[in-house]
A and B are shown apart, each in its own frame.
Chain A
Amino acid sequence: MKNTFNRRAILQGSGALVAGVAAPSVLRAQTPIVKVGVLEPLTGNLAYNGTQCAAGAKFAAEAINAAGGIKSMGGAKIELVVVDAQSRPEVAASAVDTLVEANVCAFTGATASALGLASSQAAAKYNLAQVFSIGTAETVVTRGLPNVFRFTPGVNKCTSIALENLKLLNQGAGNVVKTAAIVHEDGPFGSNMAKILAEELPKQGIQIVETIPHPTPHRDFSNIALRVKASKADILIPSNYINEYTLMARALNQQRVELKAIYSILGGAASNIKFVRENNEVAQYVMDCNHWYDPTKAESKALAARVAAAGLDLTYDVMVSYATIQVIADALERGASADRQKMIEALAASTFDKSIMPYGPTKFVNGDNTSAQPVNTQIRGDKIELVFPKQYASAEAVFPVPVKKN
């Protein structure tokens, strides 16, 4: 503790920290504390997702502390060190220094792959583990960095499971879907997904009749809606962020595009309750294959209640970030140490299966959690229901969409 104080005192001398910050942690020294970093974009264009992630981490730390903290470390309380990546890779990387300075044992982050790539590369020099909340680009885990742990599925896994589920749905409906249109944001996720779909969909007997990439932000979706309409596709497979998704859904409705289903893959809005609330009419029956928690677990219900009480929207960002803190807490519990190397070893050996996510026992292979999987959700009324996989489902999927009365 004394060591920490000294280092802080030096910082103070350099005018970087105010005295008030350092003092309370000295007073609290009686209860042991273990620090965990949260590196998220809290400002800039990714601020929404980053802020939601930071909130999820906070809820997890509160829940763990309320349940007695890390028992193998004398009931140590988790203290989060939240730093802002400002939606810029170089800032994300230098924020790792701040985390190391604060003596965190590991950290979670960083919403976008570009930020995560930079931060994990910087953290590798310190042998500091980064548990990715979201980092769908496969380059996250193919660089061979030992400090990288991606708890959630990447783009390949998400797309292939989405395709499997689509096949099941289509078979169940008597293979009514023969053609598909793809609308995707032109960033890493959307482009990669479109590539995989172009290869795999024809194997299921679904012809791709239109593929439309678009930038973010995009102001007008009228043309896209018209092209989808002209393509006469049976289903639409979109992947984009919430703002574009909202505009797209409206344009589809305005141009009276008739679709048998909207089946999005990591759609920014299709599993966002705000979209359901503000665009209820167009949101009906929209399906999404995305990160989502297991709603049947008691802890999931407790989280949902706390998020609602805090006046926040329960998005997948909150869920995955909550779960990554759970994974870190489990590693701390087993390793009984906040040492960085011990944390990496404990995380690598993780078989944790009590997170709120619908995953089996965690198994990191080259840093990628092979038990991670996305689930399918569907918007029904004013709720988002989980429809796949069956063992976690809260509702039966409606596919294709019932024909509109008017």
Chain B
Amino acid sequence: MSILIVPAILSGMMMGAVYALVALGLTLIYGVLHIINFTHGSLLMLALYVVYFLNLHLGLDPYLAIPIVLPLFFTLGYCLQRGLIAPMSGGSEQNVLLITLAVSLMIDNLALYFWTSNTRSADIAYAYDTVEILGALLPLGRVIAFAAALAVSPVIWAFMAFTRTGAAIRAVAIEKRGAELVGIDVNHTYAICFGIGTACVALAACLLFPTFYVTPQVGYTFVLVAFTTVVLGGMGSLPGALIAGLLLGIIESLCGLFLGESLGQIGIFLAFILILLFKPSGLFGKRAGS
């Protein structure tokens, strides 16, 4: 078993990078809009389908689909927040949660209706290629996703730190009413933020697709882990989400190795409960409690 530890840690990190990518969008939305967004898993599923169909009909490589899928999902996220979630929630936190839940039910079942429950995956030439690192064979697709996760977080961080829109988003996140007073369009900023979060999850889909499959239920496979990642990293913290994602991937992999794969996920949720109980603000969170 001991010779498997290094490969297990590495493959856990690769999987963790995917969790981090999914969680980045979620933590951004939570940090600014303070809503638990249950549509996130459904949007991941939707993006996977788009990548799949682009590959099927146009022969487009999942990585080359990124320039198409990202703007598409940014727009979708923007419209979803501005046109549906915000006007329908009436400002109540509990209602937002239920509305995102209902929207996710809607998206999942529309996918089921139009695309059936068939599992779809693509026979991509490099799907079986591996990279050897420290004696461990790692799937090429996962290594690319890992690199992308490392690259994307600083980009988003820089966007938040150095652009006007980024500053507006930060202002709204900290003090909504104050931001309104200085002339920031809060609804627009919220929707932009939701759009960026959705674009993040679409990026995750492009990077995940070569090593995974898509069904209308696939979102559930990742959404609970993504919530855990967000909380563990500190709600709203981008570096937190990245590190927490990697950490959870390693925890899951090692728990799977030593406790059996069935109990591997328990490691994730136990970490979740422990962090909530002892450091509710998360690894990198600033605020505690409410």
Q: Of all chain B residues, which has the CB nearest A224?
A: B261
Q: Do A254 and B262 form a contact, CB below 8 Å, given A226-B8, A246-B119, A247-B213?
A: no
Q: Given the known A-B contacts A219-B221, A227-B4, are A43 and B15 also in contact in the complex, defined by CB atoms under 8 Å? A: no
Q: Which of A50, A246, A255 has the most CB of B within 10 A?
A: A255
A253 touches B261 (CB 8 A): no
Q: For chain B, which range describes its interface: under 10, 10 to 19, 20 to 34, or 35 or more residues?
A: 35 or more
The answer to whether A217 touches B221, judged by C-beta atoms less than 8 angstroms apart, is: yes
* Chain B stretch 195-219: residues in CB contact (< 8 A) with chain A: 211-213, 215-217
Residues of B within 8 A of A247 (CB): 212-213
**Bound form: Cα–Cα A280–B121 in Å:** 12
The digit string for A217-235, where 1 denotes a CB below 8 A from any CB of B, is: 1111011101100100000
Partner of B211, one of A47, A212, A223, A250: A250
Given contacts A43-B112, A255-B137, contact A282 B128 (CB under 8 A): yes
Q: Which residues does chain B contribute within 8 Å of A186, judged by CB atoms?
A: 262
**Residues on A with beta carbons closer than 8 Å to the beta carbon of B212:** 219, 247
Of residues 246 through 274 on chain A, the ones whose CB sits less than 8 Å from some CB of chain B are 246-247, 250-251, 253-256, 274
Q: Per-residue 0/1 for A325-355: is the Cβ within 8 Å of any B Cβ (1 yes, 0 no)?
A: 0000000000000000000000000000000
Task: Kindly list chain B residues whose C-beta atoms are within 8 Å of the C-beta of A218.
Answer: 261
Determine if B119 and A223 form an interchain contact, defined as CB atoms under 8 angstroms apart: no
Please tell me if B127 contacts chain A, counting CB pairs below 8 Å. yes
Q: How far is the CA of A247 from the CA of B141 in the complex (A)?
A: 13
Min CB distance B140 to A, Å, is 9
Q: Which residues of chain B in 110-140 are interfacial with respect to chain A, using CB atoms and an 8 Å cutoff?
A: 112, 116-123, 127-128, 130, 137-139
Given contacts A48-B215, A220-B11, A223-B8, contact A254 B119 (CB under 8 A): no
Which of B29-37, B178-186, B238-246, B252-260 forms part of the interface with chain A?
Answer: B252-260
Decide yes or no whether A171 CB sits under 8 A from chain B.
no
Which residues of B are found within 8 Å of A274, using beta-carbon distances? Answer: 118-119
A51 at interface (Cβ–Cβ under 8 A)? yes
Contact with B along A29-55 (1 / 0, CB 8 A): 000000000000001110110110000
Partner of A222, one of B1, B11, B123, B213: B11
A251 to B7, CA, bound (A): 13
User: Across the interface, do B7 and A222 meet the contact criterion of CB distance under 8 Å?
Assistant: yes
Q: Is the Cβ of B121 less than 8 Å from the Cβ of A212?
A: no
B265 interface residue, CB < 8 Å from A? yes
CA distance A188 to B253 in the complex (A): 24
The answer to whether the Cβ of A279 comes within 8 Å of any Cβ in the partner chain is: yes
* Identity of the chain A residue whose Cβ is nearest the Cβ of B252 in the assembled complex: A220
Flag whether B3 is at the interface (Cβ < 8 A).
yes
A281 within 8 A of B: yes
Please tell me if the beta carbons of B123 and A279 are within 8 angstroms of each other in the complex.
Answer: yes
Would B261 and A47 count as touching, CB distance under 8 A? Answer: no
A318 to B112, CA, bound (A): 19
Give the distance in Å from the alpha carbon of A220 to the alpha carbon of B18 in the complex.
11
Q: In the complex, which residues of chain B have a beta carbon less than 8 angstroms from the beta carbon of A50?
A: 117
Given A45-B217, A223-B11, does the pair A215, B137 have CB atoms closer than 8 Å? no
Query: In chain A, what residue has the closest Cβ to B211?
Result: A250
Nearest chain B CB to A226's CB is how many angstroms away?
Answer: 5
Which of the residues A44, A48, A226 comes within 8 Å of B119, measured between beta carbons? A48
User: A157 contacts the other chain (Cβ, under 8 Å)?
Assistant: no
With contacts A219-B15, A250-B211, A254-B137 known, is A281 near B4, CB below 8 A?
Answer: no
Whether B117 contacts A48 by the Cβ 8 Å rule is: yes
Please state if B122 and A278 are interface contacts (CB–CB under 8 Å).
Answer: yes
Interface presence of A242 (CB below 8 A)? yes
The residue from B221, B261, B262 contacting A223, defined by CB atoms under 8 A apart: B261
Within 8 A of A (CB), among B239-290: 252-253, 256-257, 260-262, 264-265
How long is the Cα–Cα vector from A51 to B120 in the complex, in angstroms?
A: 15
Q: Are B8 and A51 in contact (CB under 8 A)?
A: no
Q: For B256, what are the chain A residues with a Cβ–Cβ distance below 8 Å?
A: 223
> Within the assembled complex, what's the spacing in Å between the Cα atoms of A51 and B14?
34
Given the complex of chains A and B, what is the CA–CA distance between A274 and B213 in angstroms? 12
| A289 and B211 alpha carbons, distance in the complex (Å) | 27
Instruction: Check if A230 sits within 8 Å of B4, measured CB to CB.
Output: yes
In the A-B complex, the 7 residue pairs with the smallest Cβ-Cβ separation, listed nearest first, are A47-B117, A222-B11, A214-B261, A48-B117, A220-B15, A217-B221, A186-B262
Inter-chain pairs besides A47-B112, A48-B116, A279-B121, 18 sampled, C-beta below 8 Å: A44-B217, A48-B215, A51-B117, A213-B260, A217-B217, A218-B261, A219-B212, A222-B14, A223-B256, A226-B4, A226-B7, A243-B215, A246-B121, A246-B213, A247-B212, A250-B139, A250-B211, A254-B128
What are 23 A-B contacts with C-beta separation under 8 Å? A44-B217, A48-B118, A50-B117, A214-B261, A214-B262, A215-B265, A220-B15, A220-B252, A222-B8, A226-B4, A230-B3, A230-B4, A242-B119, A243-B213, A243-B215, A246-B121, A246-B213, A254-B128, A254-B130, A255-B137, A256-B137, A274-B119, A278-B121
* A contact residues vs B (CB 8 Å cutoff): 43-45, 47-48, 50-51, 186, 212-215, 217-220, 222-224, 226-227, 230, 242-243, 246-247, 250-251, 253-256, 274, 277-282, 313
